[in-house]
A and B are shown apart, each in its own frame.
Chain A
Amino acid sequence: MIERLRVATILVLVLLGLFFTFVSTTGVLRLPDVYSRAHTASQADTLGAGFTLAAVALALGWGTTSYKTVLLLFFIFVTNPTAAHAISRAADEEGIEPWTTDDDRTDEDLLDASQMETDGGDRRGDQQ
């Protein structure tokens, strides 16, 4: 009985992980520009990987390998936002303008527009 419950939980966790990874992929394909794609590429992935790793930990049982998956999860949680921040910050330094709802340009137009700028998109002084 307990064994069956365990297998069921593992299945549910793997399916949830799959679902969020699927959402993440869909988001990368559907969203309009680099910033919103960075949202979904890292974020839904965090949860997707999270659920999958939880399933792995449960499947392996209580032992050295299973708490290593917890460590893995921890490192994903530290590195994932760092990567997303690095991508969006790089985009910002390039001067790529975030897309808004009243904008009818595509992401490629936005990239082209950023390369038109001659100052290299340095935002350091834009607060004044």
Chain B
Amino acid sequence: MSDDRLLVPVADTPTVRQTVESAVKTALGDSEGYVRFVYVHSPDSSREEEDPTVDPPVKETTEFLNRVVVWARDDAGDREGDLTVETARLGFDDYLFSPEDVAEVLIEDGTAHDVDRVVLDPEYDPGVGAPFLRPLEYELAKFPGLDVEEAPVQARARRTPLLAGSTPIQAGALFFVSFAFYQVLAGTLELFDVVTGAVSATIVAVGLARVTFHTDPTFASLGRTLRLVVYLPYLLYEILKANVQVAAVILHPRLPIDPRLTRVRAAVWGGLPVTTLANSITLTPGTLSVRVDGRTLTVHTLVPAAREGLFDGGLERGVRFVFYGRDAMQIASPRERNDTRVLQPPDEAETTDGNDSEGDVAKLNETGGDGANSNGGDSR
């Protein structure tokens, strides 16, 4: 019976144990069963590790999934032989922004493995998106041909209201920032402005703290902000320099452009650092971030000089300086790390100056999809 093929997204929630049990029970209903446990990576789950060769959360996730498999086998008991368990990690190379994206990945994976039923842990939250986006259940339900059910677990899910879920530190930090911004705009510091500013900042802090911060701001974030202030003049200088280059090309009678799509695997992790880097790249004339998947940036480059600059990784070092401190700046450029690739190489051999990366191109090609391919799970 195909009805017994289940897809179960799991995460480390209080009710995951019961979800596994109920999923196994459902799958084994009357005949053989198949359960596929998937772990969906959120963009922030890849934290700020500095070793560019290791994607940090892989180990923990694998251990967690192994634990889930052990539970599932326990629950199957003597009917273990009837149960097929598979695990997979999803969304590692994608930048999953909203519950809709997560639903899309789940559906894709489910369809690929001929699954027609999703069992959701009521506490399951992939850690993606903001509270006012529609929840995952809703997005999943939009796809016909796929049953979605909640696992019946004992500890009922606590439905947290919109306003809760943030810590006092988050609310306080947001209050401070919005109050300061209000006073900057008002510019007078009169009693009226202070009072109205306090009221507005309170509303903002209570309502939006959960959206603004994922974790508590610490002194490290203060240091980051200060380093960002140091980074900005450097970025401005790069923008100015590149702008002059591009202006010269645009005004040149023959328009000597050489646009190519390139792909760079940046040595920065997590939503905010990657966004900062992608935005800096786009701000610098001659390079334009077209697509961001995980930490792989697809960048359109207009002129060879801009391409060289991108592969030399000046901005990447700047962003590493902002988020990881001064020591992290000492890193090989993307070109030296073999993390660059020209997606539209010219027909003849590379004519751009000093290009010794032909071999590297093939190499990245090989490793380009590693996150996607390493999904394939531990089946039994």
Q: Write the residues of chain A forming the contact surface with B, with a CB cutoff of 8 angstroms.
A: 19-20, 23, 26-27, 30-33, 35-36, 38-40, 42-44, 46-47, 64, 67-68, 71, 77-78, 80-82, 84-85, 88-89, 91-92, 98-102, 123-124, 127-128
If over half of B's interface residues share one DSSP class (helix, strand or loop), that class is named, otherwise mixed; here it is mixed
Residue from A40, A100, A123 within 8 A of B285 (CB atoms): A40
A92 lies within 8 A of B184 (CB): no
A47 lies within 8 A of B243 (CB): yes
Given A27-B250, A101-B346, A123-B291, residue A81 in contact with residue B259 (CB < 8 A): no
Residue from A26, A46, A78, A101 within 8 A of B258 (CB atoms): A101
A85–B302 alpha-carbon span in the complex (Å): 15
Residue from B184, B250, B282, B368 within 8 A of A40 (CB atoms): B250
B257 lies within 8 A of A101 (CB): yes
Smallest CB separation, B6 vs chain A (Å): 24
Taking the complex as formed, is B328 at the interface, i.e. its CB lies under 8 A from any CB of chain A?
no
Chain A residues whose CB sits within 8 angstroms of the CB of B278 once the complex forms: 81, 85
If over half of A's interface residues share one DSSP class (helix, strand or loop), that class is named, otherwise mixed; here it is helix
A35 lies within 8 A of B259 (CB): yes
- How many inter-chain residue pairs (CB < 8 Å) link A and B? 119
A127–B291 alpha-carbon span in the complex (Å): 13
A84 lies within 8 A of B282 (CB): yes
A78–B291 alpha-carbon span in the complex (Å): 17
B93 lies within 8 A of A127 (CB): yes
B288 lies within 8 A of A39 (CB): yes
Given A35-B290, A92-B298, residue A64 in contact with residue B239 (CB < 8 A): no
Additional A-B contact list (6), CB under 8 Å, known A40-B285, A81-B278, A128-B373: A26-B251, A35-B290, A43-B239, A43-B283, A78-B279, A84-B288
Taking the complex as formed, is B260 at the interface, i.e. its CB lies under 8 A from any CB of chain A?
yes
Residue from A26, A47, A98 within 8 A of B250 (CB atoms): A26
A85 lies within 8 A of B257 (CB): no
